[in-house]
Chain A
Amino acid sequence: MSFNGYKNKIEEGDTVILYLTITQIYSVKAQSKIINKKGNEVVNVFQTPYGALKCGELVGKSFGTKISLSKGWGYVLQPTPELWTITLPHRTQIIYTPDISMIILQLELSPGSIVIESGTGSGSLSHALIRAVKPHGHLHTFEFHEGRSKMATEEFRNHGFSNYVTVRHRDVCEKGFSEELDGVADAVFLDLPHPWLAIPHAIKSLKSSGGRLCSFSPCIEQVQKSCLVLLKLGFQEIQTMEVLQTQLSVQQRNIPVINMDFLKSEKDGSEGEKKDREFLKTVVAIPPPSLPGHTGYLTIATLPPVWARSLQMSLNEVDMIDGEGEGD
């Protein structure tokens, strides 16, 4: 239950972030026993480079404190959606915080918003969506893989999010977002291989006063298809972007300095010392030698309210005709 609200003490069953170093961050469950792959109950031990951690011993400790390991120490942090995103068990490809942040701002979510998401996948985005809309908003998330939808339901319950989210096992391209959600959503988010098939359904679910839609796609062909459908269906402010984050590492470097002054005058016997190389101590911030150059394209659009839709459709028609006449 460690996601919902601020918390001081670790309780049995809480998800805990184990921070060892900036690149060694893990999530563990504070409980002494766990069911292993063979279905047997075993002691819940997490192996770290600094020794084994008996997770049951975390119960009663305070979040934000140091814990000792046999060959070092670590810190236990309360999970946030950001920490969860970098430590969660991957069941699918996931969306990361730079894209997630942009999605939430572009969908104009705030507490009280009703938001629809598909597919749920590993729930990386879902956690941030729930935080943005709770306590009186709601996330309706759809996943057509039964196992994944069950695991997500279980995870949200474990994290104390049950009141703010409904997981549905359903193919949204074929069947849409279910009639009970007709006209209720402020925003719809799609992370699907064929997002354009779900866009017509999204219109049904969005409020008659309009709303925002965002689709995340790794490939530009998906973006092109989605954009054409969005145009056809009368969306406006259609925008496609990508956001890539670089992390700089601050380091102190000794930079060699070349000094040539001594060359300008006659020998005075001091040349010998010049062989000691001079260095300048300086602080630099350097990007990593290689970094992700692509995650996915975010395509974002506004569905106007019903009273402005037909006007928008006639406007969009022109852009579509432009495209269809091309190619010769």
Chain B
Amino acid sequence: MDSGDNTIKIGDYVVVQRQGYTKLHKLKASSKLILGSFNIEMDNVIGEKYFDTFQMKNTPGNKRFYVLEKVEQVNSAKDSLNIEKSGQDNRNIPNNHAESQSLTKEDIDKLKDAELSSNNIVGQLINNSKTFSMKTEYSQEKYIKKKEKKYFEYVQIKKPSIRILVQMFYRQDPTKTLGIRVDDLSQILTYANIHSEGNHLLYDSGTSGLISAAITNAIGPNTTGQLIHTHPGNECQKNAFIAMQFPKEQSDRCINVNLYSVIRCFYQNRNTFVENNAETSEPEAKRQKVDENTKSASNIQKKTWQLDNEKACKILDQKVDSLIITAKEHPVNITKELLSFLKGNRNFVVFSLFKELHQDLYTYLKTRTDIINIRITNNFMRNYQVLPNRTHPEVNMTIAGYLLTGYKLDM
């Protein structure tokens, strides 16, 4: 259809996927990507299309250094191998795995360096295994799959999406996104009632830009919604946000401000953002002072962060339509402070990895008369392997954090 949109270009953030493993990469001219133990030259994907599949090819004379070649066909190990014999059960298989394989690690590395071909390597491993033919058909298959995965020579290029990013970050290092799992994120967005309209307020103490990206994505392109993203540092984290490559019009509606500096501006520099027409109703003396201030302020070239603070304060002054807090700090003070900017008849969500912190927050919120429908929730999530006669929950599972959701009355 619209091939222009789907062509891989220099400057794009791409997701490189090899089997279940994914990595985010910014495409530059002659850029290289380290994917596990592979060092890959990325140039050949430029000009091709998203979802295309590429084979990692060894470069002559340069060990472990691979170039990509687009393929139209992929051969699976199981298909090309001819397995003649299988055992009935595993009664004759010795426990010591190492001895059953006569290829050494060096031998395998040599094979890999000569040509990365999972079919060839798996074939060799089988030929040099003393026990393979004794294994049941089922374990043979499992063995092939496992080995094929290790030496799999194909990668696919995809466009980043919130779904891909949240799962990738969580798998790589959950601490970099405060331990927010895909189900946590999905519910933060629904319970906070994030959509294309309204002004949304976020405090995020560090999720690599994942939450600001997810909210901006839910606000959408060419809509009226805006996000104030408050953060504790000098610079906000924005890996995920940049990777989403939002159109300028959309990313401009996410205002990134330092939490302390925006709150200071709100309470101490009201004159910088309060609208002129509001001033006319103020006493004469005060108005004069304000006029002077604005005059002197406009003389100095304002820094971007100051302008952003003022833009954010203007919105805060009108109050916001939703509040999201994803903090590693204790949530009570932050929630208390930011709730004062939330309109009545609106919802808020606070994420924490620890339920004890939410207990404190709950106890605090219960002392207020303007907060109702307070719930603390936690999810059990499990993935399944679905294959005929071999369907079962996946062997590994992970834990999620806790959400506290609530509703602010209009009082």
Contact = CB atoms under 8 A, between A and B. Distances in A.
Interface of A: 5-6, 8, 19, 22, 25, 62-66, 75, 77-78, 80-82, 97-98, 100-102, 104-106, 108, 110-112, 128, 131-132, 134-136, 183, 207-210, 220, 223-224, 227-228, 238-248, 250, 283-285, 297, 299, 304-305, 307-308, 311, 314-315, 318-319, 321-327
Nearest to B2: A209
Interface string B140-180: 01000000000000000000011100100000000000000
Contact of A326 (B383, B388, B410): B388
B221 A112 contact: yes
Interface string B193-231: 101111000000000000000000111111100000000
Contacts of A66: 409
B35 interface: no
A297 B384 contact: yes
B163 A108 contact: yes
Choose among A102, A110, A323 the residue with the greatest number of B CB atoms under 10 Å from its CB: A110
B197 A22 contact: no
Contacts of A244: 379-381
Contacts of B217: 110
B385 to A, nearest CB: 8
A245 B373 CA distance: 16
Nearest to A136: B222
Interface string B1-32: 11001100000000000000000000000000
11 contacts: A22-B375, A82-B193, A101-B183, A102-B182, A105-B162, A106-B163, A106-B186, A209-B5, A209-B6, A242-B381, A245-B380
Contact of B386 (A108, A223, A250): A223
Given A65-B411, A324-B388, A285 B196 contact: no
A83 to B, nearest CB: 8
B363 interface: yes
B362 A250 contact: yes
Contact of A246 (B53, B76, B186, B379): B379
A304 B51 contact: yes
A175 B76 CA distance: 36
Given A97-B187, A101-B190, A285-B359, A110 B220 contact: yes
B391 interface: yes
Given A5-B197, A100-B190, A326-B389, 15 more contacts: A6-B321, A64-B345, A81-B193, A97-B187, A101-B190, A108-B162, A111-B220, A208-B1, A220-B391, A223-B384, A242-B384, A248-B402, A322-B141, A323-B390, A327-B389
A62 B381 CA distance: 39
Contacts of A6: 197-198, 321, 343, 345-346
A227 B198 CA distance: 40
Contacts of A319: 387
Nearest to A85: B190
A241 B382 contact: yes
B248 to A, nearest CB: 17
Contact of B195 (A75, A132, A223): A132
Contact of A104 (B78, B190, B220): B190
Q: DSSP majority for the B interface? A: mixed
Contacts of A22: 372-375
A273 to B, nearest CB: 31
B344 interface: yes
A3 to B, nearest CB: 11
List of 10 A-B pairs having minimum Cβ-Cβ separation, nearest first? A111-B220, A64-B345, A64-B410, A323-B388, A101-B186, A105-B186, A308-B51, A240-B384, A64-B344, A111-B196
B195 A111 contact: yes
Nearest to A287: B378
Interface in B68-105: 71-74, 76, 78-79
A9 B137 CA distance: 69
Contact of B161 (A108, A111, A248, A285): A108
A78 B219 CA distance: 20
B57 interface: no
Nearest to B48: A307
Contacts of A82: 190-191, 193
Contacts of A238: 386
B359 A307 contact: no
Given A209-B2, A307-B52, A248 B382 contact: no
A79 to B, nearest CB: 10
A268 to B, nearest CB: 39
B311 interface: no
Given A75-B409, A97-B190, A305-B51, A314 B73 contact: yes
Contacts of B356: 285
A307 B156 CA distance: 13
Contacts of A207: 1
A108 B161 CA distance: 7
A285 B6 contact: no
Nearest to A284: B359
B207 to A, nearest CB: 15
